[in-house]
Amino acid sequence: MPEIGPEVTPEGDELPVAPPDAEVVVDAVANSARPRRRVAPFVALALAVVLAGLFLVLSGAKSKRAESAATPLMGQPAPPAVGDLGDGRPYDLARRKGSWVVLNFFDPECGPCVQEHPELLAFSTDTSAVAKGVELTTIVNSQVPEQVAGFFADNGGSWPIVYDGDGSISDAFGVAQVPETWIVDPDGIVQYRAIGPVTDQQLLGALTALRAREGQ
C-alpha cells in the first residue's frame, strides 16, 4: 500500500498540517486518566440492603407468630370460670390464684384439637413448666363426658378436665370455635390468647416472655 504523505499544491508545495484540536487532546487525556467507576461496591451495598429488609420481614413474621391474639379481656381480671371436674368436685378459676393457669378449650370431635393434643401432652410433662407452678386445664362443653374421658384414656393426659355444660365459660371468654388456649397469671389477669392449635414450644415461649416481663 503506498504511503500517504502530506497534501501538496499543484505547484508541488506542501500544505501545512493543522495541529490537532487542543480540546480533543485535553478530553482524550482526561478520559484516559479518569479512573473507571467501581460497580462492585454498589452491588454489594444493594445486596446488603435487600438482605437487611428480608431479615426484618422474617423477624416481623416470627414476632407476630409469638404475639397474643386480640381480646378485650387482655390485661383484665379473668371472667368467672366455674364448672364440674366430672367426679363431683367443682372447679373455680378464681381459686387458682398463685399459679399460672393455661386454659385449653377443647372438643374431642374437633380435628385440630385432636392434632394439638400431643403438643399439650409434651407441655404437661415439661419440667421447666410444671416445676414453676403452671397448671394446664382443659375446658370442654361436650354433653357426653364419657366421650371426653374415653379420649383422654386412649390418648393420654392427666390434667384437670372442666365440664362447661352450659357453655358459660366459653361465652365469658368469647370462645366461638375450638381450640383456643389462654394464659391467666397468678394474680388472675388474662395475659395471653392463642386461636387455633398451639405447640409445646409456643406455650413455653409465651410463659417465658410473660415471666420475664413480670420479673419472675
pLDDT tens readout for residues 59-107: 343 333 347 799 999 999 999 999 999 888 999 999 999 999 999 999 9
Residue 110's pLDDT is what?
Answer: 94
Task: Identify whether 174 is part of a domain.
Answer: yes
Question: How far apart, in whole angstroms, are the C-alpha atoms of residue 98 and residue 186?
Answer: 4
* Residue 99 near residue 135 (C-beta atoms within 8 A): yes
pLDDT at 143: 74
Instruction: List the CATH number of the domain containing 185.
Output: 3.40.30.10
- CA-nearest of 99, 162, 109 to 133 is 99
Say whether pTM exceeds 0.85.
Answer: no
Q: Is residue 128 part of a domain?
A: yes
Residues 100-158 pLDDT 10s = 999 999 999 999 999 999 999 999 988 666 557 899 999 998 778 899 999 999 999 99
- Greatest mean pLDDT among 4-18, 29-43, 84-98 lies in 84-98
The reply to whether 47 falls in a domain is: no
Which strand ranges, in their side-by-side order, compose the sheet holding 180-184? 90-92, 82-84, 161-163, 134-140, 100-105, 180-184, 190-195
**Number of domains composing the chain:** 1
| Residue 172 resides in a domain | yes
**Does residue 89 fall inside a structural domain?**
yes
160: domain range? Answer: 82-214
Closest to 102 in 3D by CA, of 171, 199, 177, 168: 199
